[in-house]
Structure 1
């Protein structure tokens, strides 16, 4: 009798059980997931990161050190303005000038006033264009 009930239960009781197709949807944008998940994943990774960058720890300054650096920059800025004014005058004139290790070339072009700066010791170059 038990076997008959079990067979009837298996025959009629399992009719409502269905399977469905399972799909995988990646979360990480690097593997095909939604790009809007990027910020959330980065914030989660940053919150879990227990390691600190040694170079960033050295860059932290106290308020006194920051004030000292700002004061030094302002003094050096005033000195450089003074040197430029004595070398070039109040207005920038065309020509080539040497200031320490820097060779400064100033000329007028169709784009505007062009200032080329060359560090003669390292070979680094920079160009500043002031539009007309």
Structure 2
């Protein structure tokens, strides 16, 4: 009899259980939340912001460059590239680089053959900067 009462109480508890409807209420006012949350969300976002507007102002960088300056810089780069290609062909010919010493304006190139491959030392005589390039065999 005790088991019958326990089972009956259990079944009655299942059917008399109450439920409620779950309702989603957004917090952000941009998604339908309360408009009074806007100031709190903005101050919270600003407190977490790690970027400094003074250093990351890309609009000021774009304001300084107009299309005419950009075009003239691009044209200068293309002309200098073509000129350096012609000078390189005149100096080295159509073949590969040959060992020796070469002078291009303020750049002094020393090309030597080593066990690792072709070694190119580049010295800028105006600033003293030096670079070394190894082209493997």
TM-score (norm 1): 0.55
The match for 1:103 among 103, 108, 122 is 108
The match for 1:81 among 60, 68, 85 is 85
* CA deviations over 1:70-89 (Å, ceiling 9, x no partner): 22111101101111111222
Structure-1 separation of matches of 2:71 and 2:129:
30
Number of the residue aligned with 1:4: none
Report the alpha carbon displacement of residue 111 of structure 1 after superposing the two structures with TM: 2.3
* CA deviations over 1:46-98 (Å, ceiling 9, x no partner): 2xx343579x9467422332222122111101101111111222221001111
Helix, strand or coil at the partner of 2:126: coil
Unmatched runs of 5 consecutive residues or more in structure 1: 1-39
CA RMSD of aligned residues (A): 2.9
Q: How many residues align?
A: 89
The match for 1:92 among 92, 97, 121 is 97
Number of the residue aligned with 1:66: 70
Helix, strand or coil at the partner of 2:83: helix
Structure-2 separation of matches of 1:126 and 1:57:
35
TM-score (norm 2): 0.53
Q: Residue 51 in 1 paired to residue 54 in 2?
A: yes
